[in-house]
Amino acid sequence: MSEKLVRLKEILGEVSDLTHAAAVLEWDQNVGMPAGGAEARGQQLSTLAKIAQEKSTSDELGRLLEDLQKEYPEGESEESAMIRVASRNYEKARRVPAEFVAERALVTTQAFEAWVVAKKKSDFSVFHPHLEKIVELVRRYITFFPPADHPYDVLLDDYERGLKTAEVKSIFQDLRLKQVELIRRIGSVGQVRDDFLHAKYNEQKLWKFGERIIGKFGYDWNRGRQDQAPHPFETSFSVNDVRITNRFEADHPMATLFGAMHEAGHAMYEQGINPSYERTPLEGGASLAVHESQSRLWENLVGRSMPFWEHFYPELKKTFPAQLDGITLKSFYKAINKVEPSLIRVNADEATYNLHVMLRLELEISMVEGAVAVRDLPQMWNEKMREYLGVIPPNDAKGVLQDVHWSGGSIGYFSTYALGNLISAQWAEAIRKDIRDLDDRISKGKFDDLLGWLRGKIHVHGKRYEPQALVQKVTGAKIDAGPFMSYLEDKFGGIYGL
């Protein structure tokens, strides 16, 4: 290994350390920090962000990357991949002043605490001034980059490299028409019963049951943990320290189980990345859509399948005999897959979930364009909920304040959730070609082969491949809505007798 490559890894390792140190502080803010610590925490995160930005944009790093691009030309080697990703990150980071990064860290830390209070009070006015600052920061951020086909392209590229707003709109427009038609057909037949899912369930028992499930999936508890937070998330400090958070909702108790499966999907991805990529730009998932494909695969394609509950339902029924008395496996399976327009995105069924994402995408684009003022978001949210799903939130907590993402400045993020759904179905088709008896294995509670397939085909590569290239490498096609719609038609056709 050349001296220049050694020095490059040293600098990039320090940047990674600073980023992960900030992630520890952010995790603590969500999990255990008292509200009074918000101001100090904001300053701490601001300082770390500024130092990381300065290191990420140093002249020395630029010279090293320029020299090493000649020494390791574009190719299949891990070194050339690391230099390619590092060079791209460097070019983007150089456009963003360190002072701006520090300011954004401070503003978003304060905004998160305001969002927590606002959601608890169901009062958007508490969060409103903080979101206005974030939107102003987002618009300033866009100006640091060359003009794009659409300003939102700049934000989208941070989460899904190379993807354009026009491409996402095109995918969603076609998908929306097909999903709305499926929902219409489902609505024309008798609805399934699910009242027993909303009975009173013991929180601790559900929490432990979820932990048993994800332990069987392959989530490594020696390198992870699960804690409570206002909004479930996964965070990684290293390949050997990947944590998840979850929550309990008294009116939607089963969400605790599916939340654990979802976040474990993210976490198992991070735990499966090549350890040699630690402290390099190749650590972490290929993109947020690819990441989301993992969580949605485990939560939905596995966790809401009949074979899965053939294994776990007897144990669940034994754990909650009163709540599930007289409820057959088939009835339970139909209930957890009930299609019904709902208020909360994270609890939405598979057939309506993407409509929640499309709504948020439209609002984000409108905010970036200046077509929607922040003060008007609650009203616009409710109008789009009525238009897309036929339901109107009764308050801000179940409406515009339900998601944490905007408080962290994550505008440009939401479309990756729906794209992840599409990719998950593409993975599933490829998996079934290689693991012919997949359903039989799942019905026996055996997930080793499935996780092994994902580890070998996807996880181990980290960021080595561009997201579209990875999807095509594994499935033979780029991101495509076809397999996902086929999956929905087959699954809900069976449940509702379409």
Active-site positions read: 263
Sign of CA dihedral 438, 442, 445, 448: positive
Contact 269, 259 (CB under 8 A): no
Q: Give the span between the Cα atoms of 99 and 96, in whole angstroms.
A: 9
Closest CA to 341 of 481, 490, 182, 201: 182
Residue 24 burial by CB count (10 A; 0-12/13-18/19+): exposed, middle or buried? middle
One-letter amino acid at 498 equals: L
333, containing H or E segment: helix 329-336
Q: What is the number of other CB atoms lying within 10 angstroms of the CB of residue 204?
A: 9
Q: Give the span between the Cα atoms of 14 and 58, in whole angstroms.
A: 13
Instruction: Find the angle CA(311)-CA(313)-CA(315) to the nearest 5 degrees.
Output: 90
Instruction: Find the angle CA(142)-CA(146)-CA(149) to the nearest 5 degrees.
Output: 85
Closest CA to 61 of 93, 18, 100, 104: 93
Residues in the chain: 498
Q: Give the span between the Cα atoms of 199 and 203, in whole angstroms.
A: 12
Exposure letters 127-143 (e unless 16+ CB within 10 A, then b): bbebbebbbebbeebbe
Largest CA distance in the chain: 70
DSSP 8-class letter at 464: S
> Is the backbone of residue 282 left (phi > 0), alpha (psi -120 to 50) or beta?
alpha
Closest CA to 359 of 300, 424, 403: 403
- Supply 265's token pair: 């999907």
Exposure letters 30-46 (e unless 16+ CB within 10 A, then b): beebeeebbeebbebbb
Contact 424, 458 (CB under 8 A): no
- Supply 252's token pair: 């939607």
Closest CA to 111 of 41, 59, 175: 41
Contact 175, 418 (CB under 8 A): yes
Q: Give the span between the Cα atoms of 59 and 66, in whole angstroms.
A: 11
Q: Give the span between the Cα atoms of 207 and 379, in whole angstroms.
A: 36
One-letter amino acid at 401 equals: L
